[in-house]
Amino acid sequence: MGSKGDLSAYLKRIAYDGPVRKDFETLCGLQYAHMKSIPYETFDIHFKRHIPIDPEVAFDKLVHQRRGGACYEQNGLLGLALQEIGFEVTRLAAYVKDQASHLTLKVEWDDQVRICDVGLIDGPMEPYKLQDYSFTDCGHEYKVEMLEDGGFRFHNHKLSPSQGFVAHKPNEQAMEETSHWLQTSPESPFTKVVPVCTRTADNHILMLTDRV
């Protein structure tokens, strides 16, 4: 993404017609519209099609081809759009156990900081603060725990199959290596099942199958 035309195409893809400014209202509106419009899916893994973590590739797939995608693709695309608007975006490698199996976004503007994440199947639909606190979103309770090394732990809600993640700093190489493992290893959960999720205004619909 590098032009107003690309940004317009993204906004059309997510059916967003709200303000486009470097502020909290825009940030919330974009995340909400994105999560309602672009489904989470990993079909390409089962068709043996490599999924790069390059956000420009994700833009073509999710916007031009009108596909869904996994977390690296979803948050990569949102990050491009936010940068085009003027937000400062840092791609944080998020670790589940010892693997950088998730990408989340640290978004900054003026004196504000939020974490934006459209890549969690059942995560919050609004950006959340980078501080110690608990919050409720769509009826679920989430928690952010700040760590001594400057990173943070995100605790998912208690009904989620995913407990959350730990994020410290960018690490593109770690995400690239983990992405390759997730797409190819017989031990990867993504080679065993096909998760497909779409969000409604206040909830999510998840389907897990072992075939495509």
Catalytic residue, from 71, 116, 122, 140: name it: 71
28 is a catalytic site residue: no
Q: What is the DSSP string of 53-96?
A: --HHHHHIIIIIS---B-HHHHHHHHHHHHHHHT-EEEEEEEEE
Catalytic residue, from 117, 122, 140, 157: name it: 117
71 is a catalytic site residue: yes
The CA–CA distances, whole Å, from 21 to 15, 68, 83, 93 equal 16, 26, 11, 27
116 is a catalytic site residue: no
Q: Return the SS3 of 207.
A: strand
Of 99, 116, 126, 106, which is closest to residue 180 (Cα–Cα)?
99
Question: In which element (H, E) is residue 178 found?
Answer: helix 172-184
Catalytic residue, from 34, 60, 64, 102: name it: 102
Residue numbers annotated as active site: 71, 102, 117
